[in-house]
Chains A and B, each alone.
Chain A
Amino acid sequence: MEKKLLEVKGLSVAFKDEKVVDDISFEVYSGETFALVGESGSGKSITALSVLRLLPTNAEVYASEITLNNDNLMSITEIDFCSIRGKRIGLIFQDPMSSLNPVMTIGEQIAEVMRIHFSYTKAEIETAVYELLQQVGIPQPARRINEYPHQLSGGQRQRIMIAIALAGKPDLLIADEPTTALDVTIQAQILELLKSIQQKTGMALWLISHDLALVSNMADRIAVMQQGKIVETESTKVFFKQAKHPYSLKLLAALPSMESCVNKELKQTVATEPCLLVVEDFKVYYPIRKGVFKRIVDYVRAVDGVSFHLHKGKTLALVGESGCGKTTLGKGLINLIQSISGRVLLNGIDLTDLRGDTLRKKRSEIQIVFQDPFSSMNPRMLVGEIIAEGIKALHPEIGLVGRQERVADLLQQVELPLSAALRYPHEFSGGQRQRVCIARALAVDPKLIVCDEPTSALDVSVQAQIIDLLKKLQRQQGISYLFITHDLAVVAEIADEVAVMYQGKIVEHGEVEQVLTHPRHQYTKTLLEAVPKMVN
């Protein structure tokens, strides 16, 4: 057995009277990858931050023992602790966009760590930064060293974050959801990078994640956290074969898997039935303006000539990485963004021709559910008002009583209690809010709902519930979905057809089983390979 690097015994963290971490104990051995897995709010990030003493001052931390290489971290003074953070324990945060200082060059930000922890000369620091950039795989490091964070892509920024964490040559690297904000293909690269660095330096990696598939590829040992408690700690191999705790089993069961599409019975469609939605050569361009007179010099081709069709009661999944134009396409279809050219035929009527009041009336046919259940509802309106808003706007003839009945009916459909109507959005959890958003979209009897990543902000178990709800509503009411997502596993669960988007164009379109099992286009293949798969 390797030697213990970090040992935590009896750690509890409380905010006011609420315990968020409740008497947990674990250890990280040197050189291994230890994964702390749990759903949002289970206290996994708080655990990491409390070890590093980075929690806000209103948090109360108790622990019987926290040792790093047999040094008691509890008894170290705050000033001496600075030499532990960054030097002996490195930290990578989730969001590379907000964890870099936008007004400092990346070279300075990496050098800052070295200047604090080592007494290098200026030249030594420069070479060290250069080497680090090379190590984390930044192309042309000599030029990049003087660039600012906004000049880099998301994946590159995360590499810089890793470089900063590595600058102090730590024994332990804590990675708090290091790839959640990134695309699948980039995620695969970053994980690969972390693995190779670990092999080279022999440091321990403490990975915090909600993604069991990712963890199964990376970790040596897994600890599952639920509501502030560690319910199961097991080596990865054993865990995925025979998890013991019911919560772990529940997590494993909720995991959407790509195989689910294979055995799915296909919905029969009559070929002669006219299509509900026909999109022809749809284009959305954003002008790039330059000069004093704001002349249009070029266009960003966000959606560049997309054509597809969708039958009634079917689900078309639109898959692609961030920036491929899938959200723009979704919003363009419901006229939230102006299109340049192309036709959107809904039951034979071209929506792009409509203006003013006729467009307003027609809007009931096609609705949208957004990704972020927190920002998609007005925080100052009651849930009942939010759901009733569309009815009020499009069917003013329905009176107050009629509206209330309809709201009650809708709440029932999305499986929420009737009392929800008189509460504010913030009183609900993410999954419940997404249900309210679905109810709001349903309120005006749409034929088609554009679902813009409706599940990606949710935990796995909640994600499964929302997908089940969407499926149930489709069976009952025959609604069609245009399901925009980056998550191929979700696609396998819900979609009948898949369209893969890449740089504003649809590169592959077909039945879900065929696309996911026998992809034809090179990009689809890359995408599928990058998805972390369960190691069985």
Chain B
Amino acid sequence: MIILWTDALIYLLVFSILLSGFFISRKPQLKRPLRKITISKTGMISLLVLVFFIIIGLLDSIHFTETDSRTHEIISVLDYWAKPLRTQSEKTYSAPFSAYLYSKETMTLEDGSQQWGYPRLKYGGSHLQKPATEWKADLLYKSFIGFSRGASLVILFMVLLWSFLHDRHKYFLKGPTAKVVWFAVFLLISVSYMLIYLSAYYHVLGTDKVGEDVFYQAIKSIRTGLVIGSLTTMIMLPMAIVFGIMAGFFRGWVDDVIQYVYTTLNSIPGVLLIAASILMVQVYMSNHAEDFNSLIVRSDMRLLFLCLILGVTSWTGLCRMLRAETLKLREMEYVQAAQALGVRQGSILIRHILPNVMHIVLISVVLDFSSLVLAEAVLSYINIGVDPTTYSWGNMINGARLEMARDPVVWWSLLASFVFMFSLVLAANLFADTVRNAFDPRRAEQGE
């Protein structure tokens, strides 16, 4: 097993989330809001979608060297399972579920004569004898088989769960949102099983310019999106919170210094900094070629630095907001009461200021998350984003620029990246909304 830099950070993140979950479950007043989340339907469904994305991202973060290949390529567990998708490349574009190529070329027929037309694909729909007549029926039949297999899998799992848990964990099965959530689980797993089943026979989302499966690209991009969203946030958040709260609370020279730093940083165009640091990393890597011998290690390094520099350039906005809010909060009477009680300033910051700015942090983090995924797309456009060999929605959208200008239009790359990005960002937004409502004691009581 090989642990890349971003992998390590992802493990760290997951570990700290689990740890804080453990802490929360031990405190009764923090457990109450968690219950509140389980009551909200949108909250639970968006959590489900998020977890689904995260599982795919985690599977894609366990890397090892492929032993049976000659090249000793580094691949992830996801790559290993999706081997057919990864290796079965066509010649060039093909539409979703199509059995033919998307562009005409000269073909040599069996009788030796030559014809100008759409050739059959090497893999997609190759099991069909006469695609023109069989295609529709086969597609429906295979979808049905895939869906029902997935469905029976879920039902089997649910029956097992029921028989094990039915008297101990009633909440799982009979809670207020249990029906909706289990239905969503059912739908999600059945549909994804269906897609996986279909992808063995067809290119579900078509192929791109060099004939690679777009479905595979979109799935591989999940990890990139999550890494950029979460690692950047992890870098930016501590800076924004610590500096913002300190500037607002202590005022005086602390405030002056912090303000000076962020106005300076803000006045340098972010793109310039990003370009500079990415170029620096590239130069460093080409000077130390022996340490970065594999393509995937190099692109991983570049991704890590992109997160780092995005984090460094994007904390100022949140910092300013937190400073303003802290300026307001420090004049609140409960802060003064705490001072009168002889509470130390550090405790006041942690106990009185921090919890009362968390709602701002949560909202802006989720909004930033979506804008970071988009920023990655924009940066890829001017070639300072992730490595061109890294699968990312940004790279897909960037490629789609030319595809949209083509006639007939190749729309599936754009659509695939859009749908995946949209569902991730939407789920994150809705879930954050639920969390914010649940943890605000004044709102929590009003209920749904």
Contacts and interface: CB of A to CB of B under 8 A. Distances in A.
Interface in A374-411: 375-382, 386, 389-390, 392-394
Q: Classify the secondary structure of A's interface with B.
A: mixed
From B341, B342, B343, B355, residue with most partner A Cβ within 10 Å:
B341
A422 interface: yes
Contacts of A376: 332-334, 337
Given A389-B343, A426-B441, A426-B442, A331 B356 contact: no
A368 interface: yes
B344 A360 contact: yes
A339 interface: no
B442 A367 contact: no
Nearest to A380: B355
B338 interface: yes
Contacts of A366: 340
* Contact count band on B: 20 to 34
A400 to B, nearest CB: 13
Interface in B309-341: 332-334, 336-341
B338 A389 contact: yes
A363 interface: yes
Contact of A370 (B333, B339, B344, B347): B333
Contacts of A371: 333
Interface in B408-448: 441-442, 445
B351 interface: yes
B178 to A, nearest CB: 27
From A360, A370, A389, A444, residue with most partner B Cβ within 10 Å:
A389
Interface residues of A, number: 35
A394 B351 CA distance: 16
Interface string A414-433: 00000000101011000000
Contacts of B340: 334, 336, 363, 366-368
Interface string A2-41: 0000000000000000000000000000000000000000
B103 interface: no
Contacts, number: 79
Contacts of A367: 340-341
A336 B441 CA distance: 29
A236 to B, nearest CB: 38
Contact of B334 (A360, A375, A392, A422): A375
A426 B445 CA distance: 10
B273 to A, nearest CB: 32
Contact of B29 (A377, A379, A422): A422
A335 to B, nearest CB: 8
B352 interface: yes
B336 A427 contact: no
Contact of A390 (B341, B352, B445): B341
A299 B148 CA distance: 82
Nearest to B339: A336
Contacts of B352: 378, 381
Nearest to A371: B333
From A363, A378, A394, A427, residue with most partner B Cβ within 10 Å:
A378
A380 B356 contact: yes
Contact of B341 (A331, A377, A424, A440): A440
Contacts of B332: 375-376
Contacts of B28: 422
A377 B334 contact: yes
A361 interface: yes
Interface string B97-122: 00000000000000000000000000
A196 B336 CA distance: 44
Given A370-B333, A426-B441, A379 B356 contact: yes
A378 B341 contact: no
A118 to B, nearest CB: 42
B342 A364 contact: yes
A333 to B, nearest CB: 10
B445 A378 contact: no
Given A370-B333, A437-B337, A379 B342 contact: no
A18 to B, nearest CB: 12
B344 A378 contact: no
From B337, B338, B339, residue with most partner A Cβ within 10 Å:
B337
Nearest to A373: B333
Nearest to B341: A390
A419 to B, nearest CB: 13
A372 B344 contact: no
A336 B338 CA distance: 10
Contact of A372 (B333, B339, B341): B333
Contact of B351 (A331, A381, A390): A381
Contacts of A390: 341-343
Contacts of A363: 340-342
B336 A378 contact: no
Interface string A344-375: 00000000000000001101101110111001
Nearest to B359: A380
Contacts of A381: 351-352, 355
A370 B336 CA distance: 9
Contacts of B336: 331, 336, 368, 370
Contacts of B341: 363-364, 367, 389-390, 393-394, 440, 443-444
B340 to A, nearest CB: 5
Contacts of B337: 368, 370, 376-377, 437, 440
B199 to A, nearest CB: 48
A517 to B, nearest CB: 35
A380 B341 CA distance: 18
A440 B333 CA distance: 13
B75 to A, nearest CB: 46
Contacts of A393: 338, 341-344, 347
A248 B4 CA distance: 77
6 contacts: A375-B332, A389-B351, A390-B343, A394-B341, A394-B342, A443-B341
Interface of A: 331, 334, 336, 360-361, 363-364, 366-368, 370-372, 375-382, 386, 389-390, 392-394, 422, 424, 426-427, 437, 440, 443-444
Interface of B: 28-29, 332-334, 336-344, 347, 351-352, 355-356, 441-442, 445
Given A375-B333, A427-B445, A443-B341, 6 more contacts: A376-B332, A378-B352, A393-B341, A393-B342, A422-B29, A424-B442
Task: For the complex of A and B, list the 10 residue pairs with the smallest distance between their C-beta atoms, beginning with the closest.
Answer: A390-B341, A376-B333, A363-B342, A424-B441, A393-B343, A380-B355, A370-B333, A360-B342, A378-B334, A426-B442
